[in-house]
Amino acid sequence: MIDRDTDIFDDNSFFIIEYEPGAPQAAPRNVTQSQVIPQYGASPPQDIPQPRNVTQSQSFSQPQPVPPPAPQYMPRTAPQPAPRSSYQPLKIEPPEKDEIRELFYAMRNIAKQHFSPYMNFTRIYDKKVRQDNSLVFYKQGIFMKDFTDDYKEQADFSSYFPYYQMMGYGQLRTYFSWRARVRDGNVSAASLSYVFLYIYELLNNIGVESPKDGMDRLLSLRSAFKAFDPSIEKYIVKWLKDYFIYYGLPGSFGDFAQEHGLAGNYVKTGDTGGILDLFCAVSKYDIRKSAFFTADKSKLITDCLYFLINDLRQAFKTFNINFDEIVFGTPKKTVVWAPFKDALFYNWMVQPDRQVILSEKEIYICRQNKWTFGTSPASESGRRFIGYIFKKAESVLRDLTKYKFKLAADINMINEATIRKIKDPGLNLDKIISDSVTEFYREATKTVVTVEDSSLKRIRQEALFTQERLIVNEEDIGVMAFKETPAVLDTVWEPVSGAVSDVVSDAILKPVQLPSSSGGWEKLKSTLNKTELQALAVIFQGGTNIKQFADKNDIMLEVLIDGINEKSADSIGDSLLDDESAIYKDYREQVKEMVESI
């Protein structure tokens, strides 16, 4: 076995020697003496034999040793100073402070305070990621809500669910400059991501004075920007509806949609009608079919009912009663509703428990600040309840407008359980309705007189002149006799056609008799056919067989009832039968007189 030792040097050479243990040392094989490099100044070893095939004459002669050079000593001298240089160090000035950049840094630090492992830009479709991003977005948006900029450059930006944290310095400045112009009413073309970012701000009520102001800004942006890119329409239209529900804007969503030309976008949900359509759809008494509901009074009645419904909701709320629940009930099956789907929205507002009813098929419920959605067809008790309210309101309005025909509303139209629920806490339903309708009518018909300063001065001058003319001496006062005139009942006085005078004493008046309702009943009896009179007789006697009577005479019950009511409206100005084919209590005596002669 060969044992190899490396880095073994003798006193006179540098090469490596291989040997067997116990064998005499020899020069390496195939290495001539001439290839051996002796150490400088050393004698070759005498005990190492010459390699084979190498003659003595071929070996190198021994070089003569060379003495080392004698050391040189230098006298020690003092160190000399370095020569002066003309170079002067430059003072490094700190960079100019960029306050806008510092503001952006402060805004970005908000994200560090709400760090989440889900917060990244690669999982924007993940629900948890969007929730975390929406919180950061809302906090940063509130921080930057009053910032304005006037950046001259334009940096493009494109991203799904954009928000500030993913934007660079130039993109932030571009956006805030564009936003400042939009807030001033100057809407210009921009990257869609900037537009959606601004819409997200409005949906979160960032930078607006009130929810109403936020809605106005959304409508304004929709109207102006769709000229640049109409693709935002499909998003903003559905968010307008969510905005109306979430922020509880006043009025009916149906009226709102009609006012802004949006009704066609919501036809599938059946919620484009106003508050009158909503409640009339479930009411036992449809005020729209009343003879009192004419073209000239429709707006007055509609506005009055809206005013009344709001008053009733507030009054019932005082006693912890939900007015809408009495009418529509509570949906039995609900699903979670998240407003502003496909938008970056943070549920920042703490809301009271409430319901938003768009129709029987669309009810939104907020409980403990969580929203659900459901449907709830109105119950029979709810239909009777709202029917009585509408009929009572019409009765009060008829009195206030001095309508020639009266209308009575019987509270027994409401079932006993609902009456107890209202009366037990101390609510007086009739008084609430009467007071609300009266207040509305007084405000709606109030005459506002405005007088300019110049006109007021002229009036004073004329009044002073008249006062001087009326002052007379005592001796000129004669004895005046007054003659009483008998009162004329049921008579009003109106000027004769063609008589015009500025002096009251010169007016020529003539008596006019007020119309009597007795003639209306005679007209009604003459217009009703034999079948309709017989139907009234059947109804007056109890009405249980009216359906059989209609079938026997080959006429639909609905057609029969509508025909009677139409002729009644033309003759006496009101319907004779209610939705249950019963005679109104106010008209039973007149109907009795008509059917007795059959």
Span 341-358, average pLDDT? 90
Determine the average pLDDT of the residues in 484-497.
Answer: 40
What's the angle, vertex CA 104, arms to CA 102 and CA 110, rounded to 5? 110
- The pLDDT of residue 338 is 92
Q: Is 193:158 a contact under the CB 8 Å cutoff? A: yes
Confidence bin at 589 (pLDDT 50/70/90): confident
pLDDT score of 157: 95
530: pLDDT strictly greater than 80:
yes
* Consecutive H or E run containing 336: strand 334-336
Nearest to 366 by CA among 247, 467, 456: 247
CA–CA distance, 237 with 239 (Å, rounded to integer): 5
| Selected residue with higher pLDDT from 156 and 515 | 156
Cβ atoms of 162 and 197 within 8 Å: the answer is yes
Give whole-number Cα distances, 84 to 48, 81, 88, 89, 198, in Å.
Answer: 66, 9, 11, 14, 65
Residues 6+ apart with CB under 8 A from 476: none
Distance CA 281, CA 289 (A): 12
Average pLDDT of span 239-267: 88
* pLDDT class of 243 with cuts at 50, 70, 90: very high
Please tell me the predicted confidence (pLDDT) of residue 449. Answer: 59
Beta-strand ranges (E) seen in 395-522 are 491-495, 509-513
Stretch 115-144: mean pLDDT: 75
Phi-psi region of 320 (alpha: psi -120 to 50; beta: other; left: phi over 0): left
Domain boundaries, the chain: 1-48, 99-273, 287-329+378-444, 518-596
| Phi, psi angle pair for 459, to nearest 5° | -65, -40
Bridge-based pairing state of the strands 370-374 and 334-336: antiparallel
pLDDT at 515 over 50: no
pLDDT at residue 62, rounded to an integer: 58
pLDDT tens-place string over residues 4-27? 444 433 444 444 444 445 444 444
State yes or no: pLDDT of 318 exceeds 50. Answer: yes
Under the banding of pLDDT at 50, 70 and 90, the label for residue 203 is very high
pTM, entire model: 0.56
Backbone angles phi, psi at 394, to 5 degrees: -65, -40
- Quick one: pLDDT at residue 478? 47
Out of 62-71, 240-249, 464-473, least confident range: 464-473
Q: What is the pLDDT of residue 59?
A: 47
The amino acid that residue 289 corresponds to is K
Mean pLDDT along residues 203-228: 96
Euclidean distance between CA atoms 372 and 367, whole angstroms: 8
Question: What is the structure's pLDDT at 469?
Answer: 59
Find tokens 């003496």 and name the residue.
33
pLDDT tens-digit profile of 416-426? 999 999 999 98
Higher pLDDT, 161 or 9: 161
In whole angstroms, give the CA distance from residue 207 to residue 142. 8
Residue range 113-139: mean pLDDT, rounded: 72
Query: Above 90 in pLDDT, residue 125?
Result: no
Q: Which of 326, 292, 330, 331 is nearest to 414 (CA)?
A: 326
Instruction: Please tell me the predicted confidence (pLDDT) of residue 101.
Output: 95
Higher pLDDT, 393 or 47: 393
Q: What is the 3-state secondary structure (H, E, C) of 261-316?
A: CCHHHCHHHCCCCCHHHHHHCCCCCCHHHCCCCCCCCHHHHHHHHHHHHHHHHHHH
| Mean pLDDT confidence for 284-295 | 88
Question: Quick one: average pLDDT of 229-256?
Answer: 91
pLDDT value of residue 490: 39
Task: Say yes or no to pLDDT of 577 above 70.
Answer: yes
Rounded average pLDDT over 441-458: 71
Lowest mean pLDDT, pick from 183-192, 236-245, 399-408: 399-408
CA distances from 3 to 6, 16, 18 (A): 10, 13, 8
> Which stretch of 53-67, 69-83, 233-247, 495-509 has the lowest confidence by average pLDDT?
495-509
Please give the full DSSP string across 195-220, using - where no structure is assigned. Answer: HHHHHHHHHTTTT-SSHHHHHHHHHH
pLDDT at 139: 95
d(CA 393, CA 438): 9
Structure tokens, 357 = 């009813």
* Residue 452, pLDDT score: 61
State the pLDDT at residue 61.
52
Work out the average pLDDT over 510-520.
50
Residue with tokens 């020697």: 17
Q: What is the secondary structure of 53-103 as a DSSP string? A: T--GGGSPPPPPP-PPPPPP-----PPPPPPP----PPP-PPPPP-HHHHH
Q: 246 CB contacts (<8 Å, ≥6 apart)?
A: 339, 340, 349, 371
pLDDT of 347 > 90? The answer is: yes
The rounded distance, in Å, linking the Cα atoms of 588 and 200 is 62
- Residue matched to tokens 């306050």: 99
Q: Over the chain, what is the mean pLDDT?
A: 78
Grade residue 50 by pLDDT with cuts at 50, 70 and 90: low
pLDDT at 270 over 70: no
pLDDT score at 521: 84
Query: pLDDT > 70: what percent of the chain?
Result: 70
pLDDT at position 273:
55
* pLDDT number for residue 330: 77
Counting residues of the chain whose pLDDT is more than 90, the rounded percentage is 34
Residue 467: band (very low, low, confident or very high) from pLDDT cuts 50, 70, 90: low
